[in-house]
Amino acid sequence: MKTAGYGSFHISEKGMCFSLGVSSELARHRRLSDNEITMQRLVFILSVSLGSVVVGYAVRRFSIDRAVSPRKVSTFSKDLKLAAMFILNPIPIISSFWGFTLGHPGLLWFPILGIVCTSVGGIAALVVNQVFHIHPKRAASVFTSGMFSNILTFGGLTAFVFFGIEGYALVQLFNMLITPMYYLVGFPISHQVSLGSRFSFSLSFGTIRERPYLMIPVVSVLIGIALNLAGVSRPPIFLSVSSLLIPLVTGLLGLSIGITLYIGKINRYTREIILISLIKFVVTPAVMATVAYLFGVHKIMEGIPYKILVISAAMPVAFNSLIPPAIYDFDLDLANSAWVVTTFSYLVILPLLYLILGV
């Protein structure tokens, strides 16, 4: 087992182990119980993912608001997101697929299951909009919130902490076709919904043509696969660097969101937020867990892909859900409120996932 030490914890290809600021040898000597190690992992995930948002919000609330204009803060936040997602994040993506071994041919279907998962959330949102006669401007935000999930950051970090770099690779594999689907399908449909027009399926390459950097994560996956198939050995330094960058990227994204976060008007959207939460944390994971079980995913690689799939299906609303309201001028306050509530609901969802899946 390859490990890389980083002070208070060390990371291996099979997961992240914590040693409370001491060496792994001393941690073994103390014989930390499985419950203690699990608690440390849960605290680490929540500290990085949610703690960074809280820190960013506190900095904006008590410091930035008094010294920097909102426009400059917004620009800095955008630049920080772009740097994290499209400069830092490609490195662990390439590394994970470079050293990834397809343990079972059934994993070739994993990207398709990712599309199914995203479709379940989107279709459920469209049904909810019809059943509850939600106003088009709000309905569009319900749709993006139901369809777009925080798989790459929260899902990727969770899988990495519990299953190591291979778990992170499985999340990337699951998500490989989801990001293009957001821009090709999700964006144009949300626009149709916001106008109250009759729904019709369509593809749009306009967003990707305007922002080609959005395809960098997909290209990174392809580069990693190409290096893997070419038989090029992955330098050990890549594992060490990736082990640092995965939580760093999550933290930077959380920070960038926190410094532009304005909590308010949530009470106006109680009904919609409850419906969105049911889609994210009940309907989508239940449907995907059932589909994956029927297709025997739980029998592959000791059930790890199955657990990764359920974790990915139970993620909160993605930050990308806030982009269409800004572009197409529908209810940004609802999208922001849904993001805040479902993201902090992860405090409850993460321990539940651990108990249900036994990770």
Range of the domain at 198: 33-357
Provide the CB-side half-sphere exposure for 140 (13 A, CA): 26
Distance CA 322, CA 145 (A): 8
User: 122 is written with which tokens?
Assistant: 């989107």
Residue 17 placed within a domain: no
| Weakly modelled stretches of the chain, pLDDT under 70 | 1-35, 38, 64-66, 102-103, 198-208, 264-265, 359
Is residue 205, in this structure, part of any structural domain at all? yes
How many structural domains does the chain have? 1
Domain assignment present for 26: no
Q: Tokens at residue 241, please?
A: 């660097």
184: nearest Cα among 158, 149, 210, 160: 210
- Classify residue 1: in a domain, yes or no: no
Looking at residue 130, its pLDDT comes to 94
pLDDT at 2 (0 to 100)? 39
Give me the CATH number covering residue 313: 1.20.1530.20
Q: How far apart are CA 24 and CA 171, in angstroms?
A: 27
pLDDT at 198: 65
* CA separation, residue 239 to residues 87, 223, 224, 245 (Å): 17, 16, 13, 10
Q: Can you tell me which residue has the tokens 């800095």?
A: 76
d(CA 210, CA 230): 33
pTM of the entire predicted model:
0.74
Phi/psi at 17 (5° precision): -120, 140
Residue with tokens 């509850």: 132
| Amino acid code (one letter) for 223 | I
Residue in 100, 351, 127, 352 with CA at minimum distance from that of residue 238: 100
User: Residue 336 falls within a domain, yes or no?
Assistant: yes
The count of C-alpha atoms lying within 13 angstroms of the C-alpha of 214, restricted to the half-sphere facing its C-beta, is 18
Residue type, 143: F
**pLDDT value of position 129:** 95
Angle at 164 between CA 159 and CA 167, to 5 degrees: 45
Cβ burial of 222 (10 Å; 0-12, 13-18, 19+) is middle
12 part of a folded domain: no
> Checking DSSP bridges between strand 9-12 and strand 15-18, what pairing results, if any?
antiparallel
Give the strands of the sheet with 9-12, arranged side by side.
Answer: 3-6, 9-12, 15-18
One-letter amino acid identity for 343? T
Q: 28 lies in a domain? A: no
Domain contains 88: yes
